[in-house]
Amino acid sequence: MSKKTGVLLLLLILISLFFNIVSFVNISNISLDKEAIESSYDSLLSEVQSLKKEISRLTEDNEVLRRNISYAQQMSDINSSIIKEQVKLIDLKKDWRFLRDNELFPIYDANEESNEKEVIFYTSFPKTLKLNEKLRGIGNKLSQYCFNGLPIELEYIKDIEGKKVAVINLRESYINEGLDIEDKVGYTWLDDYFQGSTGGMQTYIRLVETFLQRDYKGEWIDGVEFLYEGSKINYEHIEGLSEIIYR
């Protein structure tokens, strides 16, 4: 091999080595850049997940707040309606033309000292109204006047050995559907009207005496049966509501 050929061969080897080194450096840089990108991506993904959780929490808080506002407005409207209606009925009780076509029905509560029933409000219905419509009306008025708007619904009237028995379903407020117990808005049957001896007695008298209307002489039901959310009631302080109560 000539000296010139050897120099050229050495030069080619050096050039090849140079390009190999450059390629290695570039590949290393690419690898390092990829690792940095992956690290940044993971960090951003974690932050996005945290933000999603916070958005979800705020959305739930806003929903609870919205329901609270809605409930407060509903209660305000109910109380305003009660006052106006009772003032109107006080005047109409003296009007023979009104009494000719309408009937007054008392809504009862329990006396705080004696636990005896006493009239606290009145409601009225046209005499031509059907029995089931009157019962639905009484349920609505009881709900508004005595149970902070909790639904009281007539399911049906059944016949038991020739006696008419109204089946009444006590339901929790629609405004609480889908909410956890700790987020519930306003009053509930379980927490506010099925608890305590005194509270249970008040609930019993309000419901039973108002629906039975024992002093009413016209066509009426013979008995009443109460359900809670469609099922038989079985709670300590309102045991009396677990069976059919007759007039």
* Average pLDDT taken over every residue of the chain: 81
Q: What are phi and psi of 24, to 5 degrees?
A: -65, -45
Q: Return the pLDDT at 154.
A: 98
Q: Return the pLDDT at 81.
A: 72
Q: Are 121 and 141 in contact (CB under 8 A)?
A: yes
Q: Return the pLDDT at 89.
A: 83
Q: Give pLDDT tens digits for 130-152.
A: 999 999 999 999 999 999 999 99
For the ranges 27-31, 78-82, 106-110, the one whose mean pLDDT is highest: 106-110
Q: Give pLDDT tens digits for 22-32.
A: 555 555 555 55
Q: Return the pLDDT at 83.
A: 75
